[in-house]
A and B are shown apart, each in its own frame.
Chain A
Amino acid sequence: MTQAAGTAPLDGVPAADQTDQRVLVASQWQLIRWRFFRHKLAVISLVVLGAFYFVAIFAEFVAPYDPTDFREELTLAPPHTIRFVDPDGNFHLRPFVHPFKKTLDSVTYAAIFVEDETVMQPLGLFVRSDPYKLWGLFESEIHLFGLQDPDARLSLLGQDTVGRDLFTRIVYGARISLTIGLVGVAMSFFLGILFGGLSGYLGGTVDMVIQRIIESLRALPTLPLWMALSIALPSDWPVLRTYFAIVIILSTVGWTSIARVVRGRFFALREEDFVGAAELDGASNLRIIFRYLLPSFLSYIIARLTLAIPQMILGETALSFIGLGLQPPAISWGVLLKDAQAIRVLALSPWLLLPTVFVVVTILAFNFVGDGLRDASDPYTHV
């Protein structure tokens, strides 16, 4: 031992030199990131979600039209086929569509849309069409893409029952549907940490009361509870207020599971020697909570949250679908799906179901990301 300081290397140096230097000074978040990036599916999902949120944020710009602008003659028009080859067989670098010609079925009088092959309407990037105000601030008419002719209508994913562009509406719907999950989860997170933390840190009677409340809330079936609460919402409330009311309704149950997790972690962590050591160091309660307890389970909570978001999205979709959530003129994926309720519509205009695809993709993506995060969230398990 005494010679240790002399000839032999310091204890620790030989082992340390042989491992990757980066790992040695890697913080928790770096380790989590490295681990997360090993999950291919989670990374792909993260990219998909990133794209969706980009679209939701810049909805006015990404959507080619105004979501309320309707064209009666295009009611229930199907999606356009985007073409590169004209009827004469010539190839065009710039994609184009043929506009619809509406005829009536001679027997049923149902509208039939046929492509007018004589006219070619080329697509373009940064084209002009309906004016908008981005985030209610910046006025513009430039859209990310669309038809170069401002008066023509590109039907990317079809038109709805009153001739509004479905793609545009899905893009605007993403704004509400994607954020309601985040806001709802933020709310649950706040309540969960607050009550779970109180429960775990104070223990005793406080803990007992909070636990009983949580148990009662969890004993209620979720959907009927939400339905009951949303029936109580006045129907004349403005969209924004209804939105927040729905968020609160959705988080009535969501926070309980987070509170449970927080409480459990608090209990477990209080037993850890390093927390005991910090107490003996003279660290204050706040210091212990913020420097020792919270960082130790934050990553875990974030993973849990990611898995809770799809719950909220589905909740909103379900409530709106049965007409108890958001109401038109608000646009959310649930509201859009409500339009697709009639069987007749489904048979003739299946594209109205397309919002479902977005709901499913979003939920899967959140689940994959959540799984990846959960696996990565405790990088110290086997190091």
Chain B
Amino acid sequence: MTETSESGVMGDRAIISVRNLVKHFPVETGILRRQVGVVKAVDNVNFDLNEGETLALVGESGCGKTTTSHCIIQAQRPTSGQVFFRLGDDEPMDLTQMEKGELKGARRNIRMIYQDPYSSLNPRMTLLQIIGEPLAIHRMVESQEELRVRVADLLRLVRLDPSTLNRYPHAFSGGQRQRIAIARALSLSPKVVIADEAVSALDVSVQAQILNLLKELQHQLGLTYLFVAHNLAVVKYEADRVAVMYAGKIVEIGETEELYTSPRHPYTEALISAAPNPDPDTKHRARIVLAGEVADPGNLPAGCAFHPRCRYAEDRCRQEAPELVDVGGSEGQSHFSACHFAESLELTGIAGGLQSEKRGNE
């Protein structure tokens, strides 16, 4: 098991603990819907989301990031495994065992921000209605007047003009819409916010605004984020800890700085190396270019799923799937990696690869 699980089912500081989470989708063909296979979208995922931190889930398209976050909030029911949620000193509750009615309470505390700010806001509702909707559903306001006040406060919180609350989403740009989505997510004063690619669709200049806004709100309100993204630079800026996913599994998880400077999994090394850096001086660095494509979760290779693309792969990797184990980070932090050779490999992170110290600028 990962993390500190001495005190029962959850980690000590965890607000959410994901245990052995599995989500399989059947592959069916024909009108008779005969099952011919299974897509292992999430395949035995374990991690703790600690209170007040930002944990990033990174990985390439189709690796199961969205499915994992949907299984946490029970928007999709996992095939197996548990998702524990703990409020303060209360007993942990297993969200996977709860009925829809019971979930309503937990979902007040775990909220979601979607990737596409165009499809995530109902174009037929005003900001007042959109942001006020959760408040109305959970009967958190007594009157229409109180609702207006609350929504205006929320708009101010995300730096939008509160006088715009009668406008419809079509009157706003992508970045502003994402602020609206954030305001909706925060309307119930949640503890945890799951942001699924919340800045990926935005222009760089606006993306930076939202990244900073999310950070400020975290400090101000003591939020915990599960930050799903595929852009490593963005993740590096935003996250305290990073979990790297490949083909439905977590292959590495550790403190951000540690993971970026001394990755312990060959896939992480390759991802870091492939990420384009906006600095022409690093143009001629030796880059690791992975051959082939991301593994298909509907047809995983035996052994380590990454072995067909891994430049360190040996026979053992083709037969035996590596466990996610703590290989120990610097300063006694935990640093998990799922690679048979995690302890022995000398992998290159950003410090070595980018020679940024040479960047003698201005």
On whether A and B touch (CB less than 8 Å), the answer reads yes
**A interface vs B, CB < 8 Å?**
1-2, 4-5, 10-13, 15-16, 19, 23-28, 31, 272-274, 276-283, 287, 291-292, 295-296, 379-380, 383
Q: Which of B198-213 contact A (CB under 8 A)?
A: 208-209, 212-213
Known: A2-B212, A281-B107. 5 other contacts (CB 8 A): A2-B216, A4-B209, A16-B167, A273-B115, A273-B120
Given the interface pairs A277-B120, A281-B133, A282-B134, the reply to whether A12 lies near B168 with Cβ below 8 Å is no
Does B164 count as interface, using CB distance less than 8 angstroms?
yes
Q: Is B112 in contact with A280, judged by CB distance below 8 angstroms? A: yes
Which residues of B are at the interface with A, using a C-beta cutoff of 8 A? 73, 75, 104, 107-108, 111-112, 114-116, 119-126, 133-134, 137-138, 159-161, 164, 166-168, 170-173, 175-176, 179, 184, 208-209, 212-213, 216
A-B contacts counted at CB < 8 A amount to 98
- Contact: B124 with A295, CB < 8 Å? yes
Point out the residues of chain B lying under 8 angstroms from A28, CB to CB: 123-124, 168
15 contacts between A and B (CB under 8 A): A1-B216, A10-B160, A10-B161, A11-B179, A12-B172, A12-B176, A15-B173, A24-B168, A25-B126, A27-B168, A28-B123, A277-B112, A291-B125, A296-B122, A296-B124
Residue of A nearest to B121 (CB): A274
Residues from chain B with Cβ under 8 Å of A274 in the complex: 119-122
B161 near A13 (CB under 8 angstroms)?
yes
The smallest beta-carbon distance between B127 and chain A, in angstroms, is 10
- Tell me, in angstroms, the Cα distance from A222 to B138 when the chains sit together: 50
Nearest A residue (CB) for B162: A10
Q: How far is the CA of A305 from the CA of B212 in the complex (A)?
A: 49
Smallest CB gap from B114: residue in A: A273
CA distance A295 to B212 in the complex (A): 35
Q: Are B116 and A273 in contact (CB under 8 A)?
A: yes
B170 and A277 form a contact (CB under 8 A):
no
Residue of A nearest to B185 (CB): A277
A228–B73 alpha-carbon span in the complex (Å): 55
Q: Tell me if A11 and B209 are in contact (CB < 8 A).
A: yes
Whether B168 contacts A25 by the Cβ 8 Å rule is yes
Complex contact A1–B209 (CB within 8 A): yes
Q: Indicate whether A281 sits within 8 Å of B159 (C-beta atoms), given known contacts A24-B171, A28-B124, A274-B120.
A: no
Given the complex, which residues of A lie within 8 Å of B111, measured CB to CB?
Answer: 280
Shortest CB–CB separation between residue B193 and chain A, in angstroms?
12
Judge whether A1 and B164 touch: CB under 8 Å.
no
Assembly CA distance A62 to B248 (angstroms)? 74
CB contacts (< 8 Å) of A27 on chain B: these are 124, 126, 168
**Cα distance, A1 to B208, chains bound together (Å):** 9
Which residues of chain B have C-beta atoms less than 8 A from A280's C-beta?
73, 75, 107, 111-112
Contact indicator A16/B171 (Cβ below 8 Å): yes
A26 and B107 alpha carbons, distance in the complex (Å): 32
Q: CA of A24 to CA of B133 in the docked complex: distance in angstroms?
A: 20
Instruction: Select the residue from B137, B161, B168 with max chain A CB neighbours within 10 A.
Output: B168
Inter-chain contact A12/B161, CB cutoff 8 Å? yes
**Would A276 and B137 count as touching, CB distance under 8 A?**
no
- Do A12 and B160 touch (CB < 8 A)? yes
- 8 closest cross-chain pairs (CB), A and B: A24-B171, A273-B120, A1-B212, A383-B170, A274-B122, A273-B114, A282-B104, A380-B123
